[in-house]
């Protein structure tokens, strides 16, 4: 399942977001995108007021080019590679960007190279990867005093005494109680963590939507003192 802007067809949106307004879809994309990329490539969330992904990144690129900080950096340390990329962007001629092997020094040039590497604007991600990185980013910021890491496709929150306190399994699926079988694989995966790891609880988290706003507890006959919860996770740039 892809989320972003494809070179040949334009914007592609996961079905779970199709009922949202255009700006709500863009907001979700930018929040998820920022959790997936290095700080040099992150975009301020104010650009979610744009009408499309391409428009948002074009506006951000234009603002970076007009920024006085860029002009000061240019005077201090001129970068030929960055200059080539900036000229390509201003002329809207991206045919030679693939041939630029050297990495640019300026932030805006790095962004241009990433966005136009294929000759035109393209920015596309696997939606499940984006959601997993987003959940990890939020959890690691909230639990900054704990050890938070990926174990296969699950996120483990480990306390200071090395005891695994909690396991989170992100799943980018449009879950609802009428079709609970769609999370059968994740529930089976969760029971393996309860059985094999020192986890007190396992949370399977999916994107929150209009038909899934409250968590559901799943009890397993083999784990009376532990539980699995299916939790709706809000996509937001705020730390919960």
* End-to-end CA, the chain: 26
The model's pLDDT over 59-96, given as tens digits with 9 standing for 90+, comes to 999 999 987 555 655 556 788 999 999 999 999 999 88
Q: Which of 13-27, 53-67, 103-117, 196-210 has the lowest mean pLDDT?
A: 196-210
Q: What percent of the chain has pLDDT over 90?
A: 61
- DSSP percent split of the chain into helix, strand, coil, nearest 5: 45, 20, 35
Q: Which of 140-149, 191-200, 216-225 has the lowest mean pLDDT?
A: 216-225
- For residues 31 and 111, membership in a common domain is answered with yes
Domains: count for the chain: 2
> What CATH number does residue 185 fall under?
3.40.1350
Element (H, E) at 191: helix 184-196
Whether residue 136 lies inside any domain: the answer is: no
Query: Residue 187 and residue 199: Cα distance in Å, rounded?
Result: 14
Whether residue 183 lies inside any domain: the answer is: yes
Out of 125, 155, 175, a domain closes at 125
pLDDT of 98 > 90? The answer is no
- For residues 116 and 182, membership in a common domain is answered with no
- For residues 17 and 110, membership in a common domain is answered with yes
Strands (E), 171-238: 201-207, 216-218, 227-233
Query: Residue 229 and residue 227: Cα distance in Å, rounded?
Result: 6
Whether residue 166 lies inside any domain: the answer is: yes
| β-strand pairing of 201-207 with 164-170 | parallel
Q: What is the pLDDT of residue 73?
A: 57
Whether residue 18 lies inside any domain: the answer is: yes
Instruction: Identify the band that residue 163 occupies on the pLDDT scale cut at 50, 70 and 90.
Output: low
Work out the average pLDDT over 181-199. Answer: 85
Query: Residue 38 and residue 111: Cα distance in Å, rounded?
Result: 11
Work out the average pLDDT over 142-170. Answer: 85
**Owning domain of residue 175:** 143-233
Residue 25 class from Cβ within 10 Å (0-12 exposed, 13-18 middle, 19+ buried)? buried
Contact 155, 149 (CB under 8 A): yes
Q: What is the pLDDT of residue 201?
A: 86
- For residues 229 and 148, membership in a common domain is answered with yes
Query: Residue 111 and residue 160: Cα distance in Å, rounded?
Result: 38
Work out the average pLDDT over 97-105. Answer: 90
pLDDT of 17 > 90? The answer is yes
Query: Residue 131 and residue 146: Cα distance in Å, rounded?
Result: 21
Contacts of 8 (CB under 8 A, 6+ apart): none
- For residues 153 and 206, membership in a common domain is answered with yes
Work out the average pLDDT over 156-180. Answer: 83
pLDDT of 239 > 60? The answer is yes
Short-list 154, 184, 206, 182, CA closest to 16: 206
Q: What is the pLDDT of residue 125?
A: 97
């Amino acid at each position: 399942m892809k989320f972003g802007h494809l070179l040949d067809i334009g914007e592609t949106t996961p079905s779970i977001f199709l009922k949202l307004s255009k700006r709500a879809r863009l907001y979700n994309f930018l929040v998820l995108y920022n959790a997936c990329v290095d700080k040099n490539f992150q975009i301020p969330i104010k650009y979610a007021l744009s009408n499309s992904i391409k428009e948002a990144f074009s506006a951000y690129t234009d603002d970076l080019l007009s920024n006085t900080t860029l002009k000061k950096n240019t005077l201090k340390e001129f970068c030929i590679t960055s200059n080539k990329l900036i000229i390509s962007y201003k002329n809207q001629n991206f045919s030679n960007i693939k041939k630029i092997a050297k990495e640019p020094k300026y932030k805006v040039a790095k962004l241009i190279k990433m966005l136009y590497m294929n000759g035109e604007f393209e920015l596309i991600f696997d939606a499940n990867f984006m959601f997993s990185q987003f959940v990890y980013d939020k959890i690691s910021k909230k639990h900054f005093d704990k050890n938070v890491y990926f174990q296969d496709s699950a996120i483990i929150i480990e306390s200071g005494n090395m005891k695994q306190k909690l396991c989170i399994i992100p799943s980018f699926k449009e879950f609802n109680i009428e079709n609970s079988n769609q999370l059968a694989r994740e529930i089976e995966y969760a029971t393996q963590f309860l059985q094999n790891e020192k986890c007190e609880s396992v949370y399977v988290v999916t994107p929150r939507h209009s038909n899934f706003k409250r968590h559901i507890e799943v009890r397993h006959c083999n784990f009376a003192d532990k539980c699995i919860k299916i939790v709706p996770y809000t996509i937001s740039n705020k730390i919960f």
